[in-house]
Structure 1
Amino acid sequence: MRLFTGIAIDPTVTAKLSAVVDRWRLQAKLNWSPPENYHVTVKFLGECAEDKLEAIVAALEQVPRPGEFEVAIEGLGFFPNARSPHVFWAGVTAPAPLERLASDVDDALRTLGIPAEERRYSPHLTLARVKAGQSAAAIADEIAGLKRIRFGQFTAREFYLYRSRTGPRGSVYEKLRRIELVE
Protein backbone atom coordinates (compact mmCIF):
# COMPACT_ATOMS: atom_id res chain seq x y z
CA MET A 1 0.00 0.00 0.00
CA ARG A 2 1.15 3.56 -0.78
CA LEU A 3 1.55 5.66 2.39
CA PHE A 4 2.49 9.16 3.47
CA THR A 5 2.14 11.36 6.54
CA GLY A 6 0.66 14.81 6.33
CA ILE A 7 -1.22 17.67 7.94
CA ALA A 8 -4.79 18.19 6.77
CA ILE A 9 -5.70 21.71 5.65
CA ASP A 10 -8.32 23.65 7.58
CA PRO A 11 -11.65 23.80 5.67
CA THR A 12 -11.65 27.63 5.64
CA VAL A 13 -8.25 27.70 3.93
CA THR A 14 -9.33 24.91 1.56
CA ALA A 15 -12.38 26.98 0.54
CA LYS A 16 -10.21 30.03 -0.23
CA LEU A 17 -7.78 27.92 -2.25
CA SER A 18 -10.62 26.27 -4.16
CA ALA A 19 -12.21 29.61 -5.03
CA VAL A 20 -8.97 30.73 -6.70
CA VAL A 21 -8.04 27.39 -8.29
CA ASP A 22 -11.51 26.80 -9.75
CA ARG A 23 -10.90 29.71 -12.15
CA TRP A 24 -7.95 27.87 -13.67
CA ARG A 25 -9.30 24.32 -13.89
CA LEU A 26 -10.86 24.95 -17.31
CA GLN A 27 -8.01 27.12 -18.61
CA ALA A 28 -5.24 24.60 -17.99
CA LYS A 29 -5.85 20.90 -18.57
CA LEU A 30 -3.70 19.60 -15.72
CA ASN A 31 -4.11 16.77 -13.23
CA TRP A 32 -5.81 18.92 -10.59
CA SER A 33 -5.90 17.78 -6.97
CA PRO A 34 -9.41 17.68 -5.57
CA PRO A 35 -9.83 20.01 -2.57
CA GLU A 36 -10.53 17.06 -0.26
CA ASN A 37 -6.94 15.89 -0.96
CA TYR A 38 -5.27 19.16 0.09
CA HIS A 39 -2.62 18.50 2.72
CA VAL A 40 0.96 19.35 3.65
CA THR A 41 3.12 16.25 3.30
CA VAL A 42 5.34 15.57 6.29
CA LYS A 43 6.93 12.37 4.92
CA PHE A 44 6.27 10.28 1.82
CA LEU A 45 6.76 6.61 2.65
CA GLY A 46 5.92 5.10 -0.73
CA GLU A 47 4.89 1.48 -1.18
CA CYS A 48 4.83 -0.41 2.11
CA ALA A 49 3.85 -3.99 2.84
CA GLU A 50 0.54 -4.23 4.67
CA ASP A 51 2.16 -6.33 7.40
CA LYS A 52 4.39 -3.31 8.25
CA LEU A 53 1.41 -1.08 9.02
CA GLU A 54 1.29 -1.65 12.79
CA ALA A 55 5.05 -1.11 13.12
CA ILE A 56 4.75 2.14 11.14
CA VAL A 57 1.91 3.33 13.38
CA ALA A 58 3.88 2.38 16.51
CA ALA A 59 6.94 4.30 15.23
CA LEU A 60 4.83 7.38 14.43
CA GLU A 61 3.23 7.31 17.88
CA GLN A 62 6.74 7.50 19.39
CA VAL A 63 7.71 10.64 17.44
CA PRO A 64 8.42 13.57 19.82
CA ARG A 65 5.47 15.95 19.93
CA PRO A 66 6.39 19.52 18.91
CA GLY A 67 3.11 20.98 20.21
CA GLU A 68 0.54 22.76 18.08
CA PHE A 69 1.78 25.39 15.64
CA GLU A 70 0.49 27.84 13.05
CA VAL A 71 0.69 26.97 9.36
CA ALA A 72 0.22 29.71 6.75
CA ILE A 73 -0.68 28.96 3.13
CA GLU A 74 0.51 31.72 0.82
CA GLY A 75 1.95 32.19 -2.63
CA LEU A 76 1.84 30.04 -5.76
CA GLY A 77 4.53 28.51 -7.89
CA PHE A 78 5.84 25.59 -9.92
CA PHE A 79 8.43 22.88 -9.29
CA PRO A 80 11.03 22.95 -10.69
CA ASN A 81 10.09 26.24 -12.43
CA ALA A 82 7.39 27.87 -14.59
CA ARG A 83 9.22 27.12 -17.87
CA SER A 84 9.18 23.36 -17.33
CA PRO A 85 6.65 22.70 -14.55
CA HIS A 86 5.93 19.31 -13.01
CA VAL A 87 3.97 20.48 -9.96
CA PHE A 88 1.79 23.56 -9.38
CA TRP A 89 1.80 24.39 -5.66
CA ALA A 90 0.67 26.77 -2.94
CA GLY A 91 3.40 27.77 -0.53
CA VAL A 92 3.53 26.76 3.11
CA THR A 93 5.26 28.92 5.67
CA ALA A 94 7.29 26.33 7.54
CA PRO A 95 7.65 27.10 11.22
CA ALA A 96 10.50 25.36 13.05
CA PRO A 97 8.13 22.79 14.66
CA LEU A 98 6.99 21.58 11.20
CA GLU A 99 10.57 21.10 10.05
CA ARG A 100 11.41 19.32 13.31
CA LEU A 101 8.34 17.08 12.91
CA ALA A 102 9.41 16.13 9.37
CA SER A 103 12.92 15.29 10.61
CA ASP A 104 11.65 13.29 13.59
CA VAL A 105 9.18 11.31 11.43
CA ASP A 106 11.99 10.60 8.97
CA ASP A 107 14.23 9.35 11.79
CA ALA A 108 11.50 7.16 13.33
CA LEU A 109 10.66 5.48 10.04
CA ARG A 110 14.29 4.94 9.05
CA THR A 111 14.49 2.33 11.84
CA LEU A 112 11.90 0.32 9.86
CA GLY A 113 13.96 0.40 6.68
CA ILE A 114 12.05 3.27 5.09
CA PRO A 115 14.67 5.40 3.33
CA ALA A 116 15.41 8.85 4.72
CA GLU A 117 14.60 11.86 2.60
CA GLU A 118 17.77 13.10 0.91
CA ARG A 119 16.40 16.47 -0.16
CA ARG A 120 15.87 19.40 2.19
CA TYR A 121 12.30 19.52 3.52
CA SER A 122 10.28 21.90 1.33
CA PRO A 123 6.67 22.02 2.55
CA HIS A 124 4.05 22.90 -0.05
CA LEU A 125 0.50 22.06 -0.99
CA THR A 126 0.18 20.35 -4.38
CA LEU A 127 -2.62 21.90 -6.43
CA ALA A 128 -1.93 20.09 -9.72
CA ARG A 129 0.56 17.83 -11.43
CA VAL A 130 1.74 18.60 -14.94
CA LYS A 131 2.17 15.41 -16.99
CA ALA A 132 3.95 14.99 -20.31
CA GLY A 133 1.99 16.70 -23.06
CA GLN A 134 0.18 19.05 -20.66
CA SER A 135 0.91 22.76 -20.46
CA ALA A 136 0.56 25.26 -17.66
CA ALA A 137 1.28 28.17 -19.99
CA ALA A 138 -2.37 29.29 -19.92
CA ILE A 139 -2.11 30.14 -16.23
CA ALA A 140 1.64 30.77 -15.73
CA ASP A 141 1.51 34.54 -16.35
CA GLU A 142 -1.51 35.01 -14.08
CA ILE A 143 0.13 32.97 -11.33
CA ALA A 144 3.33 35.01 -11.58
CA GLY A 145 1.30 38.04 -10.53
CA LEU A 146 -0.10 36.20 -7.49
CA LYS A 147 3.14 35.09 -5.80
CA ARG A 148 2.21 36.94 -2.62
CA ILE A 149 -1.44 35.88 -2.38
CA ARG A 150 -2.46 34.71 1.12
CA PHE A 151 -4.99 31.94 1.55
CA GLY A 152 -4.99 31.99 5.33
CA GLN A 153 -3.55 30.16 8.27
CA PHE A 154 -4.64 27.56 10.76
CA THR A 155 -3.39 25.80 13.87
CA ALA A 156 -2.00 22.32 13.26
CA ARG A 157 -2.93 20.08 16.19
CA GLU A 158 -2.36 16.67 14.60
CA PHE A 159 -0.94 14.88 11.62
CA TYR A 160 -2.15 11.75 9.87
CA LEU A 161 -0.88 8.56 8.32
CA TYR A 162 -2.59 8.47 4.92
CA ARG A 163 -3.09 5.73 2.39
CA SER A 164 -3.14 6.78 -1.26
CA ARG A 165 -5.12 4.79 -3.83
CA THR A 166 -5.96 5.36 -7.44
CA GLY A 167 -9.67 5.94 -7.91
CA PRO A 168 -11.77 6.54 -11.02
CA ARG A 169 -11.04 10.29 -10.87
CA GLY A 170 -7.45 10.20 -9.63
CA SER A 171 -5.88 9.75 -6.21
CA VAL A 172 -8.03 9.05 -3.17
CA TYR A 173 -6.49 9.69 0.25
CA GLU A 174 -7.69 7.77 3.29
CA LYS A 175 -6.72 8.80 6.82
CA LEU A 176 -5.54 5.63 8.56
CA ARG A 177 -4.30 7.07 11.86
CA ARG A 178 -4.43 10.43 13.64
CA ILE A 179 -1.41 11.44 15.75
CA GLU A 180 -1.72 14.39 18.11
CA LEU A 181 1.01 17.05 18.08
CA VAL A 182 0.54 17.75 21.78
CA GLU A 183 1.43 15.21 24.49
Structure 2
Amino acid sequence: MSMRLFAAVIPPATALNALEAFVEPRRAADPALRWAGREHWHLTLAFFGDVPDGRIEPLQHALSGVAGPPFPLTLDGAGCFPNPAQARVLYQAVSTGADELTTLARRVRSAADRVGVPSDNARYRPHLTLARTRRPAPLTRWLRVVDSFPALSFGVDSFVLMSSHLHPSGPDYRVIHSVSL
Protein backbone atom coordinates (compact mmCIF):
# COMPACT_ATOMS: atom_id res chain seq x y z
CA MET A 1 0.00 0.00 0.00
CA SER A 2 1.00 3.61 -0.36
CA MET A 3 -0.06 7.12 0.60
CA ARG A 4 -0.10 10.23 -1.60
CA LEU A 5 2.04 12.81 0.25
CA PHE A 6 3.34 16.35 0.03
CA ALA A 7 5.15 18.78 2.34
CA ALA A 8 3.75 22.27 2.87
CA VAL A 9 3.58 25.38 4.99
CA ILE A 10 0.09 26.09 6.26
CA PRO A 11 -0.64 29.76 6.97
CA PRO A 12 -1.94 30.57 10.47
CA ALA A 13 -5.68 30.97 11.10
CA THR A 14 -5.48 34.77 11.04
CA ALA A 15 -4.05 34.69 7.51
CA LEU A 16 -6.59 32.09 6.39
CA ASN A 17 -9.40 34.24 7.84
CA ALA A 18 -8.22 37.28 5.87
CA LEU A 19 -7.92 35.26 2.65
CA GLU A 20 -11.37 33.77 3.18
CA ALA A 21 -12.91 37.22 3.71
CA PHE A 22 -11.36 38.31 0.40
CA VAL A 23 -12.20 35.19 -1.64
CA GLU A 24 -15.68 34.32 -0.38
CA PRO A 25 -17.60 37.13 -2.15
CA ARG A 26 -15.83 36.26 -5.43
CA ARG A 27 -16.48 32.50 -5.49
CA ALA A 28 -19.59 32.75 -7.70
CA ALA A 29 -18.31 35.55 -9.95
CA ASP A 30 -16.83 33.32 -12.67
CA PRO A 31 -18.16 29.81 -13.36
CA ALA A 32 -14.90 28.89 -15.12
CA LEU A 33 -12.98 29.19 -11.82
CA ARG A 34 -13.03 26.47 -9.20
CA TRP A 35 -11.91 28.24 -6.04
CA ALA A 36 -9.94 26.18 -3.54
CA GLY A 37 -11.50 25.84 -0.12
CA ARG A 38 -9.84 27.27 2.93
CA GLU A 39 -8.91 23.73 4.05
CA HIS A 40 -6.78 23.40 0.89
CA TRP A 41 -4.76 26.60 1.22
CA HIS A 42 -1.07 25.92 1.73
CA LEU A 43 2.34 26.65 0.24
CA THR A 44 3.68 23.41 -1.21
CA LEU A 45 7.34 22.66 -0.53
CA ALA A 46 7.51 19.28 -2.28
CA PHE A 47 5.11 16.80 -3.84
CA PHE A 48 6.11 13.18 -3.30
CA GLY A 49 3.23 11.36 -4.98
CA ASP A 50 2.45 7.82 -3.85
CA VAL A 51 4.89 6.86 -1.10
CA PRO A 52 5.04 3.17 -0.13
CA ASP A 53 4.04 2.50 3.49
CA GLY A 54 7.58 1.31 4.30
CA ARG A 55 9.05 4.69 3.30
CA ILE A 56 6.66 6.92 5.30
CA GLU A 57 8.36 6.56 8.69
CA PRO A 58 11.88 7.14 7.25
CA LEU A 59 10.49 10.19 5.41
CA GLN A 60 9.02 11.59 8.63
CA HIS A 61 12.33 11.03 10.42
CA ALA A 62 14.29 12.69 7.59
CA LEU A 63 11.96 15.69 7.51
CA SER A 64 12.29 16.09 11.28
CA GLY A 65 16.00 16.70 10.68
CA VAL A 66 15.40 19.61 8.30
CA ALA A 67 16.85 22.64 10.02
CA GLY A 68 16.46 26.30 9.40
CA PRO A 69 15.47 29.42 11.26
CA PRO A 70 11.87 30.67 11.33
CA PHE A 71 11.29 33.49 8.85
CA PRO A 72 8.71 36.12 7.91
CA LEU A 73 6.58 35.52 4.83
CA THR A 74 4.32 37.92 2.96
CA LEU A 75 1.62 36.93 0.51
CA ASP A 76 1.48 39.81 -1.92
CA GLY A 77 0.65 39.96 -5.60
CA ALA A 78 -0.91 37.51 -8.01
CA GLY A 79 0.15 35.05 -10.66
CA CYS A 80 -1.05 32.36 -13.04
CA PHE A 81 0.31 29.07 -14.28
CA PRO A 82 1.42 28.68 -16.99
CA ASN A 83 0.60 32.24 -18.17
CA PRO A 84 -2.26 34.76 -17.87
CA ALA A 85 -3.55 34.18 -21.42
CA GLN A 86 -3.88 30.40 -21.05
CA ALA A 87 -4.05 29.95 -17.29
CA ARG A 88 -4.99 26.82 -15.39
CA VAL A 89 -4.08 28.10 -11.90
CA LEU A 90 -4.63 31.47 -10.21
CA TYR A 91 -2.46 32.05 -7.17
CA GLN A 92 -1.47 34.47 -4.42
CA ALA A 93 2.23 35.25 -4.83
CA VAL A 94 4.93 35.38 -2.16
CA SER A 95 7.08 38.49 -1.86
CA THR A 96 8.96 38.60 1.46
CA GLY A 97 10.18 35.13 2.38
CA ALA A 98 10.25 33.70 -1.15
CA ASP A 99 14.00 32.99 -0.97
CA GLU A 100 13.69 31.38 2.46
CA LEU A 101 10.73 29.28 1.31
CA THR A 102 12.72 28.16 -1.73
CA THR A 103 15.64 27.18 0.51
CA LEU A 104 13.29 25.27 2.82
CA ALA A 105 11.78 23.46 -0.18
CA ARG A 106 15.27 22.47 -1.37
CA ARG A 107 16.13 21.12 2.11
CA VAL A 108 12.87 19.17 2.30
CA ARG A 109 13.44 17.64 -1.15
CA SER A 110 17.05 16.73 -0.32
CA ALA A 111 16.04 15.08 2.97
CA ALA A 112 13.37 13.05 1.17
CA ASP A 113 15.77 12.02 -1.61
CA ARG A 114 18.25 10.73 1.00
CA VAL A 115 15.67 8.20 2.26
CA GLY A 116 14.55 7.11 -1.18
CA VAL A 117 11.46 9.29 -1.54
CA PRO A 118 11.92 11.43 -4.64
CA SER A 119 9.88 14.59 -5.11
CA ASP A 120 8.39 15.72 -8.38
CA ASN A 121 11.51 17.88 -8.97
CA ALA A 122 9.39 20.56 -10.63
CA ARG A 123 10.84 24.05 -10.75
CA TYR A 124 9.89 25.62 -7.43
CA ARG A 125 7.82 28.81 -7.45
CA PRO A 126 6.46 29.85 -4.03
CA HIS A 127 2.70 30.44 -4.22
CA LEU A 128 -0.66 29.70 -2.64
CA THR A 129 -3.20 28.34 -5.12
CA LEU A 130 -6.52 30.15 -4.95
CA ALA A 131 -8.39 28.77 -7.98
CA ARG A 132 -8.11 26.43 -10.96
CA THR A 133 -9.78 26.17 -14.34
CA ARG A 134 -10.80 22.97 -16.10
CA ARG A 135 -9.55 24.32 -19.44
CA PRO A 136 -6.90 26.97 -20.08
CA ALA A 137 -8.50 30.41 -19.90
CA PRO A 138 -7.45 34.07 -19.92
CA LEU A 139 -7.27 35.25 -16.29
CA THR A 140 -5.77 38.71 -16.70
CA ARG A 141 -8.73 40.40 -15.03
CA TRP A 142 -8.47 37.99 -12.09
CA LEU A 143 -4.79 38.86 -11.71
CA ARG A 144 -5.83 42.45 -11.08
CA VAL A 145 -8.46 41.35 -8.58
CA VAL A 146 -6.09 39.14 -6.59
CA ASP A 147 -3.36 41.77 -6.84
CA SER A 148 -5.71 44.19 -5.03
CA PHE A 149 -5.68 41.99 -1.93
CA PRO A 150 -3.66 43.74 0.79
CA ALA A 151 -0.30 42.21 1.63
CA LEU A 152 -0.62 39.55 4.30
CA SER A 153 2.37 38.78 6.54
CA PHE A 154 2.98 35.99 9.02
CA GLY A 155 5.85 34.02 10.49
CA VAL A 156 6.84 30.59 9.20
CA ASP A 157 8.07 28.46 12.08
CA SER A 158 7.00 25.00 10.92
CA PHE A 159 5.93 22.85 8.00
CA VAL A 160 3.86 19.69 7.68
CA LEU A 161 3.76 16.41 5.81
CA MET A 162 0.26 15.94 4.46
CA SER A 163 -1.63 13.06 2.93
CA SER A 164 -3.93 13.70 -0.01
CA HIS A 165 -6.87 11.44 -0.74
CA LEU A 166 -8.55 12.20 -4.06
CA HIS A 167 -12.34 12.10 -4.27
CA PRO A 168 -14.77 13.20 -7.01
CA SER A 169 -15.73 16.14 -4.78
CA GLY A 170 -12.08 17.19 -4.42
CA PRO A 171 -9.02 16.24 -2.37
CA ASP A 172 -9.05 15.54 1.34
CA TYR A 173 -5.86 16.71 3.05
CA ARG A 174 -4.68 15.49 6.44
CA VAL A 175 -1.60 16.44 8.41
CA ILE A 176 0.34 13.30 9.30
CA HIS A 177 3.55 14.89 10.64
CA SER A 178 4.60 18.38 11.78
CA VAL A 179 8.12 19.78 11.88
CA SER A 180 9.16 22.88 13.83
CA LEU A 181 11.94 25.06 12.45
- Same fold by TM (over 0.5)? yes
2:125 maps to 122
CA distance in 2, matches of 1:59, 1:118: 18
**Of residues 12, 15, 34 in structure 2, which corresponds to 1:13?**
15
For residue 6 of structure 1, report the CA deviation from its aligned partner.
Answer: 0.5
Q: Does 1:39 align with 2:42?
A: yes
1:147 maps to 147
Unpaired runs of 5+ residues, structure 2, are none
CA distance in 1, matches of 2:99, 2:11: 18
Query: Across the two proteins, how many residue pairs are aligned to each other?
Result: 177
RMSD: 2.1
For residue 104 of structure 1, report the CA deviation from its aligned partner.
Answer: 0.9
For residues 36-88 of structure 1, the C-alpha deviation after alignment (integer angstroms, 9 at most, x for no partner) is 2211111111111122110110111122x211111111112211112111111
Tell me if the contact between 1:14 and 1:35 (Cα under 8 Å) persists in the aligned partners.
Answer: yes
Q: Describe the shift of the 1:128–1:142 C-alpha distance in structure 2 as closer, same or farther (beyond 3 A).
A: closer
> SS where residue 174 of structure 1 aligns?
strand
CA distance in 2, matches of 1:18, 1:99: 25
Letter in 1 for 2:153: Q
For residue 158 of structure 1, report the CA deviation from its aligned partner.
Answer: 0.7
User: TM-score under structure 2 normalisation?
Assistant: 0.87
> SS where residue 28 of structure 1 aligns?
coil
Letter in 1 for 2:89: V
1:67 maps to 69
User: TM-score under structure 1 normalisation?
Assistant: 0.86
Unpaired runs of 5+ residues, structure 1, are none
By percentage of residues, which structure has more strand? 2
For residue 95 of structure 1, report the CA deviation from its aligned partner.
Answer: 4.1
Matched-pair identity in %: 29
1:26 maps to 28
For residues 102-157 of structure 1, the C-alpha deviation after alignment (integer angstroms, 9 at most, x for no partner) is 1111111112333355443211001112113x7565xx425325536334111111
2:61 maps to 58
Q: Describe the shift of the 1:86–1:142 C-alpha distance in structure 2 as closer, same or farther (beyond 3 A).
A: closer
